[in-house]
Structure 1
Amino acid sequence: MRARAADAAAYGTRWRQTAPLLLLAFLMMAAALTLLRQNVLAAVVTYQGSTAKFSSGRVTGQDVGFGMAQVNVAGAGTKTVLAAGFATGTLDGLCVSQVQTLPVIGDVVIKLTSGDGNSSTREIEATNVQLDITQLRGSGTGINLDGRVQIGMASQDITTLAGVDNPLSAPTGTGWWGIDATAGDIFSAKGYLYDAEIGGPMTLPGLRISVTPKSAGGTECWSTPGDATPLPH
């Protein structure tokens, strides 16, 4: 599992991984075989020893928080990240990908995608979500925050879950700032993340997991930050 400088027991099960996204792919595949008929995967946990790419056509959240935090990455020391969390949310498509180098095979692209291919719907639903991000970008309409928006508050004081202190597990003290909002939208979202934790149920319609050698045409979720087509395919 990821190791945080400060840790709150606000989220669901956490697992240790040594081959991050590769092992995740097979764990998710096993879970999908069991739960795909119900179209619900609960307590999904993703850990990245290095960053993975992600994208979504639109992310909409309620009780949203963005705050500076730290994660301890195996073999890489402590990294400062942007922790993004929301109590409930919906997504228009989701893609997570990472390149791994395997013996004999070489570089492979491990990719998880979900969605219905309809840009007018937000078919993926999730609760109690936290993402540890190194870069986040929204294009087109960009990033919109609504309701009561507080900018510059301490990360430890952000409230995404009712009754939970420091839900983003942010360091205490000065120098760690954040943004708290009633609701938020990120359009054509893409970026890099270390991990994602979903403490509650998550629906993943059309879930697909692929492991494709780059030499055989394996592609990631997006090629450059300016890519105008971040939707999963």
Structure 2
Amino acid sequence: MDDFSGGADHAAYGTSWRRALPLMLLALAAMAATLVMLKQQVFAAAVTYQGTAAKFSTGRVTGQDIGLGMRQLSSKSSGGVVSTKNVLSAGFAVGSLDGFCLSQVQNVPVIGDVVIKVRAGDGNAATREISAANVQFDIASLRGNGTGVNLDGRVQIGMASQDITTLPNTDNPLGAPTGIGWWGIDATAGDIFNAKGFLYDAEIGGPLTLPGLAITVVPKAAGGTECWNTIGDAVPVPH
């Protein structure tokens, strides 16, 4: 997917159906696509490359058979130019989350910059109500605040990304390149608390539950906010 973000803000005053129509269509398309994917019990049937990373946050991630490894993402522009980015790929066989927020700013003709936000959860910090299986996130940066990151069981640090195991009987589940310099961490289980970062794409092959799902599309000029805004909350992955 090409990068649609950028451009100047355009404040809108009063009610204009001409200006509101693209926003309504965008919101309906996002909602329809999500409902279809939830009906199929799949959040992302295939990896979608985003030219610009989306912000994400969650109160806590708990996973089993966890792998964190470096890999590359490739994309092709409309002009046929192929580019690559180094990312941290995080995968786990099964996991649960305490709430989830994903947001991205995109530019819509006439309206200007809008914030597309997907949120889910029950608002209770004591529960991890979102569950998923066979998950992989490709991340530009990640930080766990407070308690941070806890890894349990058999933990291997510095192993080759291609040797990480998150799914039984699956070789190189993260799709990492071979060779020296692509390293990662493999653990039996773990938790990441108060996680914030930038997400390029997500792929969930198993069932996913998203209680309290809400999708909003709000112009920045009208008060649209992202999942987090504090500068320096996320540590970039080296490129």
Q: TM range, normalised to the smaller chain?
A: 0.7 to 0.9
For normalisation by structure 1, the TM-score amounts to: 0.82
For normalisation by structure 2, the TM-score amounts to: 0.80
Q: Which amino acid aligns with 1:44?
A: F
Q: Which amino acid aligns with 2:32?
A: A
Q: 1:50·1:73 contact (CA, 8 Å) conserved in 2?
A: no
Change (3 A) 1:35 1:53: closer
Change (3 A) 1:90 1:155: same
Post-superposition CA distance 1:8-54 (Å, at most 9, x none):
xxxxxxxxx55789999655512555687xxx662212622210000
Q: 1:191·1:225 contact (CA, 8 Å) conserved in 2?
A: no
Q: Which amino acid aligns with 2:73?
A: V
Report the Cα distance in structure 1 between the residues aligned to 2:123 and 2:144, rounded to whole angstroms. 19
Across the aligned residues of Structure 1 and Structure 2, the Cα RMSD in angstroms comes to 2.4
| Map of 1:62 onto structure 2 | 64
Q: 1:87·1:160 contact (CA, 8 Å) conserved in 2?
A: yes
Matched, 1:93 2:102: no
| Map of 2:130 onto structure 1 | 124
| Unmatched tracts of structure 1, length 5 or more | 1-16, 228-233
Q: 1:25·1:112 contact (CA, 8 Å) conserved in 2?
A: no
| Map of 1:135 onto structure 2 | 141
Q: Which amino acid aligns with 1:202?
A: L
Task: Please show how residues 23-38 of structure 1 align to structure 2 within 5 Å.
Answer: 29-33=31-35
Q: 2:98·2:129 contact (CA, 8 Å) conserved in 1?
A: yes
Q: Please state how far the C-alpha of 1:81 moved relative to its aligned partner.
A: 0.5
Report the Cα distance in structure 2 between the residues aligned to 1:152 and 1:204, rounded to whole angstroms. 34
Change (3 A) 1:105 1:30: same
Report the Cα distance in structure 2 between the residues aligned to 1:35 and 1:102, rounded to whole angstroms. 24
| Map of 2:43 onto structure 1 | 44
Report the Cα distance in structure 2 between the residues aligned to 1:80 and 1:24, rounded to whole angstroms. 30
Post-superposition CA distance 1:89-119 (Å, at most 9, x none):
0000000000001111000000000000000
Return the match for 1:79 from 85, 90, 95: 85
Change (3 A) 1:188 1:166: same
| Unmatched tracts of structure 2, length 5 or more | 6-22, 234-239
Matched, 1:213 2:215: no
Higher deviation after alignment, 70-79 or 26-35? 26-35
Q: How many residues align?
A: 208
| Map of 1:201 onto structure 2 | 207
Q: 2:88·2:139 contact (CA, 8 Å) conserved in 1?
A: yes
Secondary structure, counterpart of 2:53 in structure 1: strand
Post-superposition CA distance 1:155-184 (Å, at most 9, x none):
000000000000000001111100000001
Q: Please state how far the C-alpha of 1:152 moved relative to its aligned partner.
A: 0.4
Q: Please state how far the C-alpha of 1:193 moved relative to its aligned partner.
A: 1.1
Q: 1:70·1:80 contact (CA, 8 Å) conserved in 2?
A: yes
From the two aligned structures, give the one with the greater strand fraction: 1
